Amino acid sequence: MTRVASIGECMIELRQGPGAQPGGLYSRGYGGDTLNTAVYLSRLGVDVDYITALGDDALSDEMIAGWAAEGIGTKRVARLAGKLPGLYLIQTDDKGERRFFHWRDSAAARELMDLPETDDILNSLASYDIVYLSAITLSIMRQDGRDRLMAALKRARLLGTRFAFDTNFRARGWPDLNVARKVFSSAFEAADIVLASTEDLAPLYPGESHTALLAGISSPEVVLKLAEPACILRAAGATREVRAEPLIKPVVDTTAAGDSFAAAYLAARLGGAAPEDAARAGHRLAGVVVGYPGAIIPRYAMPPKKASRPSTSRKASQ
């Protein structure tokens, strides 16, 4: 049985490396937060399907072929005639910090909750151990689409599926912060696992302390990544800090640091690891990813897998 469903949007990626001259050449790839997580989940040995909508164009064909080559299931990818994927451009500064520019208003993924096959997609969520999505996923939907998805997640949870929510926040996706706060609150109430960061939550809850931010998240298992290389973990009623190991390589590009952390954390939890060990696995993979340009690092750069006893049922790693 497929263990994880990752829901979201993948876009065409154009990227200039650090120090590139204005007007210089860009390399083309593809990426998106939940797709990046799906790739890393698959590389960590987790069965994962990606749920999205694409066009019927050659670039969409290229994406699906690439996902399949990574071992990602594509049976839940809807194809829309005449549509295209969105596009984004990355610029990175000399410190590896990135800046994004997006063209996605008419992208196929925005219609995911309004298709003839939407009901089948939503009903399938109960067949997964974990359904993972991010705030970016929710930001590209209309409110009725968000409501439809959240209702399906709540139904799936009654049958044993867990919901993992990543707070990946982009202000341009939320022109009304009050709407964003309501959506986040609803996701926090429904989620079994929340993967958050102070960077994401600061625009929504300015001036709040780490303690206050954690208190505002009602989910039973929460990882709050900090500005420094550490996170605060709340699970089983206890709160503790988990620090990252020092980086071996200099930071080149921070793209997908959070996405890879999420993948390693969820993979470890599915493998039966304790939350603290899962957080260490997240720090470890993210520390490698930031040493390479782009969202997806070469396969040879993946850190060696640490043995863990796989869970035999949905309840084993809860």
* The two structure tokens encoding residue 297: 């690092």
Q: Encoding tokens for residue 138? A: 């929710």
Both structure tokens of 32? 């998106």
Four-point Cα dihedral 147, 150, 156, 162, nearest 10: 180
Place of tokens 């999420």: 262
Q: What CA–CA distance (Å, rounded) separates 156 from 150?
A: 10
Would residue 259 show up in a list of annotated catalytic residues for this protein?
Answer: yes
Beta-strand runs (E) in the chain: 4-7, 11-16, 27-31, 48-55, 77-80, 87-92, 98-103, 130-134, 162-166, 193-197, 221-225, 230-235, 238-243
Tokens of 192: 């079994």
Q: Can you tell me which residue has the tokens 């705030």? A: 135
Q: Which of 94, 253, 259, 277 is catalytic?
A: 259
CA distance 145 to 57: 25
Cα–Cα distance for residue pair 188/125, rounded to 1 Å: 18
Residues that are catalytic: 259
